[in-house]
């Protein structure tokens, strides 16, 4: 399938990728186009901004988690109905795993999905040197997909001269510029950008930005570049058979034809404190036969009735520690469910919530659920940041094989668990982690289920067994 698409990238983090991506998405929507959006890498927050702008789900593409065929399949699955797909890169264009590889970089995603890349260059405080930077990025790899440049924080008076210089010296098309923006800045905190709902007048700011971009970008050339993307090709039969006996992609259950087959009911923690999850994970479980029931550990008094399992994902529980601690009835409900053997997945913030005690950002301790003995405490730096592979004896009583995962947190625990060994790629570093039993999988790592669908199957089967009882 031939899908018009571009990838917006930059030499490094902090170059304005997310803001400009959101501005372009908003611009395309105002032009009456139907865009799809994607984020390279394991980020949770940037896709929330994309979703806020376009009003539909934004997705992750991560070539550490998925092989090339699966990556292309997932892209086409989510983009096939759109008129143009916009991908936002991660970190610097070539920055991949372990800081020494291009694997799982924005370059890797662009290469695999045959997507033209547009390099966003911060032009403030530089002129001719920008040409050297662009030329270096273009020529660093022979198969570099960099096909265009946007100059960020550039004076309008300099644009025509810089465009002429860059195109002459680098043979890369300059697709416009973004002036210095004083009233449209996305603020950050310890895990990245603040959440979209916390940005005052976000839509008004993006509307103002898209009006600026209509004037400062060469939108026609950008659309023309997107249409130059080549047709995707991937081996669907390989995708169907590669994942350890699990039909992949799974066949959706037809409950009308088989009324005896009960749909498995899984609770999904979803509120201000717990909001980091991959929609692809939920869709994979839905394909297996799961239905989700949202609940709030902050606002609800207890778990929903009739659950066969539940999930506590990451987020910002440390910012809502007092409210979570004060909800004694929800804590009791979760403890009771765990005691009754209801299967649970708890990642990062959800894992912290299950502790006896959790600190807030100021280091104040707050009583929590108490299912994990120990204390989740705040640190002043990132702990165990980046990709890992989990090696252990399986999950929920079933063999899974190695599980790719990701960590990114400013907290640690006095009781991280020892069921798995986490190994850093291209490194000798490893550590023990994860509390795992027939009914519990809890720890700091975040999982993307298409990386190893056996884990999703193990959790689902355990919930299914619970439903049959």
Give residue 256's pLDDT. 42
In percent, the amount of the chain with pLDDT more than 70 equals 91
Catalytic (active site) residue 348: yes
- Common-topology check for domains 5-227 and 243-468: yes
- Asked whether the beta carbons of 144 and 99 are under 8 A apart, the reply is no
Q: Is the peptide bond before 83 cis (omega within 30 degrees of 0)?
A: no
Residues 5-227, CATH architecture: 3-Layer(aba) Sandwich (3.40)
In percent, the amount of the chain with pLDDT more than 90 equals 77
Per-residue model confidence as pLDDT tens digits over 133-192:
999 999 999 999 999 999 999 999 999 999 999 999 999 999 999 998 876 655 544 444
Backbone angles phi, psi at 348, to 5 degrees: 50, -100
Catalytic residue among 40, 348, 416, 463: 348
CA dihedral 32, 34, 39, 44 (to 10 degrees): 90
pLDDT surpasses 90 at 469: no
If one counts every other C-beta atom within 10 angstroms of the C-beta of residue 69, the result is 17
Distance CA 318, CA 324 (A): 9
Per-residue model confidence as pLDDT tens digits over 125-149:
889 999 999 999 999 999 999 999 9
- Least confident range from 75-79, 122-126, 350-354, 389-393: namely 122-126
In the chain, domain spans: 5-227, 243-468
Identify the DSSP state of 320: G
243-468 is classed CATH 3.30.565.10: no
């Amino acid at each position: 399938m031939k899908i018009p698409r571009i990838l917006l990238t930059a030499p490094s983090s902090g170059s304005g990728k997310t803001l400009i991506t959101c501005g372009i998405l908003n611009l395309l929507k105002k032009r009456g186009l139907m865009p799809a959006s994607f984020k390279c890498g394991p980020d949770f927050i940037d896709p929330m901004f994309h979703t806020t702008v376009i009003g539909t789900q934004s997705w992750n593409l991560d070539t550490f988690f998925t092989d090339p065929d699966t990556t292309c399949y997932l892209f086409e699955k989510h983009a096939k109905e759109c008129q143009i797909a916009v991908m936002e890169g991660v970190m610097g264009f070539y920055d991949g795993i372990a800081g020494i590889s291009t694997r799982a970089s924005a370059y890797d995603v662009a290469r695999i999905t045959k997507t033209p890349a547009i390099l966003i260059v911060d032009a403030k405080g530089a002129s001719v040197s920008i040409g050297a930077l662009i030329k270096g990025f273009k020529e660093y790899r022979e198969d570099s997909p960099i096909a265009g440049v946007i100059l960020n924080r550039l004076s309008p008076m300099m644009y025509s001269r810089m465009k002429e210089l860059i195109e002459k010296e680098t043979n890369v098309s300059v697709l416009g510029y973004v002036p210095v923006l004083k009233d449209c800045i996305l603020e950050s905190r310890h895990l990245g950008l603040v959440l979209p709902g916390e940005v005052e007048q976000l839509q008004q700011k993006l509307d103002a930005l898209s009006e600026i971009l209509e004037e400062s970008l060469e939108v026609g050339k950008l659309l023309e570049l997107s249409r130059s993307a080549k047709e995707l090709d991937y081996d669907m039969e390989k995708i169907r058979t590669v994942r350890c006996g699990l039909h992949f992609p799974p066949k959706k259950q037809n409950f009308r034809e088989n009324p005896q087959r009960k749909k498995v009911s899984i609770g999904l923690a979803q509120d201000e404190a717990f909001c980091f999850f991959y929609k692809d994970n939920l869709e994979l479980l839905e394909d297996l036969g799961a239905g989700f029931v949202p609940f709030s550990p902050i606002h609800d008094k207890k778990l929903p009735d009739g659950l066969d399992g539940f999930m506590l994902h990451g987020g910002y529980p440390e910012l809502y520690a007092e409210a979570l601690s004060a909800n004694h009835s929800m804590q009791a409900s979760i403890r009771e469910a765990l005691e009754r053997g209801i299967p649970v997945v708890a990642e990062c913030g959800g894992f912290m919530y299950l502790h006896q005690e959790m600190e807030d950002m100021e280091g104040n301790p707050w009583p929590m659920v108490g299912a994990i003995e120990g204390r989740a405490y705040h640190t002043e730096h990132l702990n165990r940041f980046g990709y890992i592979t989990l090696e252990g004896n399986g999950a929920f009583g079933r063999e899974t094989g190695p599980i790719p995962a990701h960590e990114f947190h400013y907290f640690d625990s006095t009781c991280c668990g020892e069921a798995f060994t986490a190994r850093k790629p291209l490194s000798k570093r490893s550590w023990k982690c994860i509390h795992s039993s027939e009914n519990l999988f809890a720890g700091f790592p975040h999982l993307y289920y298409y990386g190893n669908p056996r884990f999703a199957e193990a959790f689902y089967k355990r919930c299914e067994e619970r439903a049959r009882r």
